């Protein structure tokens, strides 16, 4: 519905871009070259993005896609998810993205779309829709990363991996899970990293958000090394290889992958400031100063890097953001005894004060400027059902994301 509203407005303003195929891959050495969005909640469903899919279970709501499909059984799960895959993202979305100045999408895909494992409840059928999405990318001059967002055993225990679990139960490195991950990565890379999509697929991301603060970081590094060599040597592809920072500090990966053989490595940073009480306690000026410092530090990184996830969120109030049945730290209903404010009306822009709107626009503009010090940014996420702080499309419509993207109501916040 929102796309139907945005497109006529953009067409009238003359901002719709001419559609053409890319002549070369994205140049990550060029500051601010990437301006994109994640297609979250499409091939990996998340309760905070797609609550209606989960609310249908009534009092026994599953935490993640694994338990969603387990509860429904394969036949019914496929029926519901196939309908979702065919409607959540459409060609109109790509036309709108192009019209508002975006040139990039990051597409999360779970291993189960690529590889069926015995005993898994997951269902398949996602890949034809992904193929179609890449055709739309070519039509509207948009490039893509294909991101292995969930792996066997879970790499982080978050619902965005397909399976939510406490960290001590992570099983990615147990049994045959790592070998199966390589198998899924090989299928994904061979299908999307080759000649058929050479003008569209700018990179393959080896895994999303491995929990490097808990899992053995040396094993993660070995996985990165082997995954890189699989793509470059075994499959003989020239696709750029994307490595998430594994929640380590900004320059942590500088000593790794420095030989000439490791050409085309891109480090993916995810930047949020709402998942701890210390971050929530910051003033808007402190939020801005923090991202400005991140941007300044980008110049010291050895590898190409960009910010592959960020949002407009200044609170963790979004429904189910912290997991099904969990409240928010911001209003002291989850993991906090300090109340920083109320979550009432967080998704209803009509209830926002002028100060809330101004602070959100300031924060968005500062992040764009900061992350442009690297190769650019990819917002999480393009659309949600009702999570305003995380919904790029709605934020554009409400005037909180600049249009054009270079417009600034609060210029020079970072002083670059």
Task: Please report whether residue 369 resides in a domain.
Answer: yes
Mean of per-residue pLDDT scores for the chain: 94
Structural domains counted in the chain: 1
What is the extent of the structural domain holding 148? Answer: 2-10+31-397
Task: Please report whether residue 413 resides in a domain.
Answer: no
Task: Please report whether residue 96 resides in a domain.
Answer: yes
* CATH code of the domain in which 176 resides: 3.20.20.80
Active site residues: 209, 309
Question: Could you read off the pLDDT of 394-410 as tens digits, one per residue?
Answer: 999 999 999 999 999 99
The pLDDT score that the predictor gives to residue 27 is: 87
Question: Could you read off the pLDDT of 173-208 as tens digits, one per residue?
Answer: 999 999 999 999 999 999 999 999 999 999 999 999
Task: Please report whether residue 15 resides in a domain.
Answer: no
The whole-model pTM stands at 0.95
The pLDDT score that the predictor gives to residue 16 is: 37
Region 337-359: what's the mean pLDDT? 97
- Per-residue pLDDT band for 166 (boundaries 50, 70, 90) equals confident
Question: Could you read off the pLDDT of 79-114 as tens digits, one per residue?
Answer: 999 999 999 999 999 999 999 999 999 999 999 999
Task: Please report whether residue 121 resides in a domain.
Answer: yes
User: Quick one: three-class SS letters along the chain?
Assistant: CHHHHHHHHHHHHCCCCCCCCCCCCCCCCCCCCEEEEECCCCCCCCCCCCHHHHHCCCCCCCCCHHHHHHHHCHHHHHHHHHHHHCCCCCHHHHHHHHHCCCCEEEEEEEHHHCCCCCCCCCCCCCHHHHHHHHHHHHHCCCEEEEEEEECCCCCCCCHHHCCCCCHHHCCCCCCCHHHHHHHHHHHHHHHHCCHHHCCCEEEEECCCCCCCCCCCHHHHHHHHHHHHHHHHHHCCCCCEEEEECCCCCCCCCCCCCCCCCCCCEEEEEEECCCCCHHHHCCCHHHHHHHHHHHHHHHCCCCCEEEEEEECCCCCCCCCCCCCCCCCCCCCCCCCCCCCCCCCCCCCCHHHCCHHHHHHHHHHHHHHHHHHCCCCEEEECCCCCCCCHHHCHHHHHHCCCCCCCCCCCCCCCCCCC
Task: Please report whether residue 408 resides in a domain.
Answer: no
Task: Please report whether residue 410 resides in a domain.
Answer: no
């Amino acid at each position: 519905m929102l796309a139907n509203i945005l497109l006529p407005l953009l067409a009238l303003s003359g901002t719709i871009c001419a559609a053409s195929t890319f002549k070369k891959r994205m140049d990550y050495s060029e500051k601010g070259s990437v301006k994109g969005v994640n297609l979250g909640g499409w091939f990996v469903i998340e309760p905070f993005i797609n609550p209606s899919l989960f609310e249908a279970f009534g009092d026994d709501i599953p935490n993640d896609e694994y338990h969603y499909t387990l509860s429904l059984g394969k036949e019914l799960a496929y029926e519901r998810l196939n309908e979702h895959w065919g409607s959540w993202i459409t060609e109109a979305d790509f036309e709108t993205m192009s019209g508002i100045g975006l040139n990039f999408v990051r597409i999360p895909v779970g291993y189960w779309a690529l590889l069926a494992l015995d005993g898994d409840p997951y269902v398949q059928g996602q890949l034809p829709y992904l193929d179609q999405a890449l055709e739309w990318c070519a039509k509207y001059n948009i490039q893509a990363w294909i991101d292995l967002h969930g792996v066997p055993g879970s790499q982080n225990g978050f619902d965005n991996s397909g399976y939510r679990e406490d960290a001590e139960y992570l099983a990615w490195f147990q049994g045959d899970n790592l070998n199966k991950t390589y198998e899924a990565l090989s299928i994904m890379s061979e299908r999307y990293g080759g000649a058929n999509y050479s003008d569209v697929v700018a990179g393959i991301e080896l895994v999303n958000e491995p929990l490097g603060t808990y899992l053995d970081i040396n094993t993660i590094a070995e996985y990165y090394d082997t995954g890189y060599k699989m793509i470059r040597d075994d499959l003989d592809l020239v696709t750029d290889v994307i490595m998430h920072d594994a929640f380590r500090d900004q320059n942590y990966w500088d000593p790794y992958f420095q030989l000439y053989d490791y050409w085309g490595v891109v480090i993916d940073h995810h930047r949020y400031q709402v998942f701890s009480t210390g971050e929530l306690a910051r003033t808007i000026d402190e939020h801005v100063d923090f991202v400005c410092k991140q941007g300044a530090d980008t110049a010291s990184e050895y590898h190409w890097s960009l910010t592959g996830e960020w949002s407009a969120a200044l609170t963790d109030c979004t429904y189910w953001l912290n997991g099904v049945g969990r409240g928010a730290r911001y209003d002291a209903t989850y993991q906090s005894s300090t109340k920083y404010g109320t979550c009432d009306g967080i998704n209803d822009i009509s209830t926002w004060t002028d100060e809330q709107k101004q602070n959100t626009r300031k924060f968005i503009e500062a992040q764009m400027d900061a992350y442009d010090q690297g190769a650019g940014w990819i917002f999480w996420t393009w659309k949600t059902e009702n999570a305003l702080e995380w919904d790029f499309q709605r934020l554009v419509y409400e005037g909180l994301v600049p249009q054009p993207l270079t417009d600034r109501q609060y210029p020079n916040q970072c002083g670059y």
